[in-house]
């Protein structure tokens, strides 16, 4: 047996699949890991969500370890459009606008131009007002304006800004998307793989993020948003043992993080501890909008179950209604909760396209 290692042109670790000459899947690991294999020819594939496939054919010998140098294929897939955005000089795919926020307590504007016209990003500190909420949370509201499209909005806890980054991406149709992403590469990839249904790869990434739990929660490089993403991943895969006290500690240490509340509530619910889960979800009333789309989806689903069961009273019912309003508006493919709205407190629910209206469908 010899060791097979992996090298890719991408930053960060991603899942790879290794097939032998009989097309059997011999292993699925992260590019930061290695695989012990018998001598022979192997095919290595990395399926990058919204990106190209990376491939390599490698021969493993008995004498020494081998390295699979994965290269991009040339196939144009719907999701590869983002990589083409770098061709448009007006739009910086990888500029981290977050670095330009002088202070989350002050208003901030950035403008640019694309072949489609002018675009503007407006950010300002705000308070997220809702009915029956006596302690509305302090947030930072972002709006991306690129007429004639509806403004795209996100509402973020101010404490979260340091863990996020932003970019404006142009797709092959010329449409612009304002994208909020997690800075933590592993967590960002985990959500992308989950969103694209690449669950086997996502499971590996969830475990990798989980292995950083101590650092994410306690240490200098702590990143509670990434920790929440990791927890969501482990919940999706039912790895409740690995979660252990993680969700409880995330909730306790970062009270401002709505996603921490949600992951703890969901963890409790899956263990059958519904009273405690209801109590956790009731606290969402005084929290900001969940940062992650998956958190929002998880919360709304669970809250609706409890409200239907007559649990949680009017407080939970009101919170459920408020979050459902965002759930039926948000971009289901975005990792961070993003929704169209003229006023961020009034999200616009998903609606037919203009062409569908015209067809009367």
Q: Please give the residue ranges that form the binding site for other proteins (CB under 8 A).
A: 19, 21-25, 43, 45, 47, 57, 73-78, 194-201, 203, 236-238, 269-272, 274, 293-294, 296-297, 300-301, 304-305, 308-310, 321, 324-325, 327-329, 332-333, 348-353, 355-356, 360-361
Fill in the DSSP letter of residue 52. -
Cβ-based nearer residue to other proteins, 94 or 361: 361
- Tokens matching residue 120: 């503007």
Cβ-based nearer residue to other proteins, 154 or 217: 154
Cβ-based nearer residue to other proteins, 1 or 113: 1
* Least distance in angstroms from the C-beta of 360 to other proteins: 7
Helix (H) / strand (E) containing 127 = strand 117-127
From residue 293, give the alpha-carbon distance in Å to each of 36, 72, 329, 354. 38, 29, 11, 26
Cβ-based nearer residue to other proteins, 172 or 349: 349
Q: Torsion angle, CA of 311/316/321/325, rounded to 10 degrees?
A: -120
* Least distance in angstroms from the C-beta of 185 to other proteins: 21
Q: What are the DSSP calls for 205-269, one per residue?
A: HHHHHHHTHHHHHHSTT--HHHHHHHHHHHHHTT-HHHHTTHHHHHHHH-TT-HHHHHHHHHHHH
Burial class (CB in 10 A: 0-12, 13-18, 19+), 257: buried
* Least distance in angstroms from the C-beta of 303 to other proteins: 10
* Least distance in angstroms from the C-beta of 190 to other proteins: 13
* Least distance in angstroms from the C-beta of 297 to other proteins: 4
* Least distance in angstroms from the C-beta of 174 to other proteins: 17
In degrees, rounded to 5, the angle at the alpha carbon of residue 64 between the alpha carbons of residues 60 and 70 is 45
Cβ-based nearer residue to other proteins, 17 or 138: 17
Cβ-based nearer residue to other proteins, 261 or 268: 268
Looking at the chain, how many residues does it have?
361
């Amino acid at each position: 047996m010899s060791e097979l290692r992996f090298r890719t042109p991408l930053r960060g670790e991603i899942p790879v699949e290794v097939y032998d000459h009989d097309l059997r899947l011999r292993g699925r690991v992260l590019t930061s890991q290695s695989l012990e294999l018998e001598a022979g020819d192997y095919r290595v594939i990395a399926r990058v969500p919204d990106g190209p496939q990376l491939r390599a054919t490698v021969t493993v010998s008995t004498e020494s370890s081998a390295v699979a140098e994965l290269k991009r294929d040339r196939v144009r897939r719907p999701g590869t459009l983002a990589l083409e955005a770098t061709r448009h000089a007006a739009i910086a795919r990888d500029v981290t606008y977050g670095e330009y926020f002088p202070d989350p307590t002050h208003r901030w504007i950035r403008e640019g131009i694309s072949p489609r016209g002018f675009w503007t990003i407006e950010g300002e500190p705000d308070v997220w007002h809702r009915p029956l909420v006596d302690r509305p949370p302090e947030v930072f509201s972002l709006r991306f304006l690129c007429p004639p499209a509806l403004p795209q909005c996100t509402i973020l806890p101010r404490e979260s800004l340091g863990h996020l980054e932003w970019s404006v991406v142009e797709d092959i149709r010329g449409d612009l998307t304002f994208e909020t992403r997690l800075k933590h590469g592993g967590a960002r990839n985990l959500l992308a793989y989950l969103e694209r249904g690449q669950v086997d790869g996502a499971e590996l990434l969830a475990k990798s993020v989980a292995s950083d739990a101590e650092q994410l929660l306690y240490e200098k490089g702590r990143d509670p948003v990434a920790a929440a993403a990791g927890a969501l991943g482990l919940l999706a895969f039912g790895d409740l043992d690995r979660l252990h006290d993680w969700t409880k500690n995330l909730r306790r240490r970062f009270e401002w993080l709505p996603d921490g509340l949600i992951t703890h509530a969901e963890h409790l619910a899956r263990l059958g501890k519904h009273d405690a889960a209801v109590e956790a979800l009731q606290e969402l009333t005084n929290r900001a909008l969940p940062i992650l789309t998956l958190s929002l989806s998880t919360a709304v689903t669970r809250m609706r179950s409890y409200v239907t069961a007559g649990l949680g009273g009017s407080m939970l019912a009101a919170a459920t209604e408020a979050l459902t309003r965002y759930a039926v508006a948000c971009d289901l493919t975005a990792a961070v909760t993003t929704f169209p709205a003229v006023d961020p407190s009034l999200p616009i629910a998903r609606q037919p396209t203009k062409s569908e209206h015209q067809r009367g469908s």
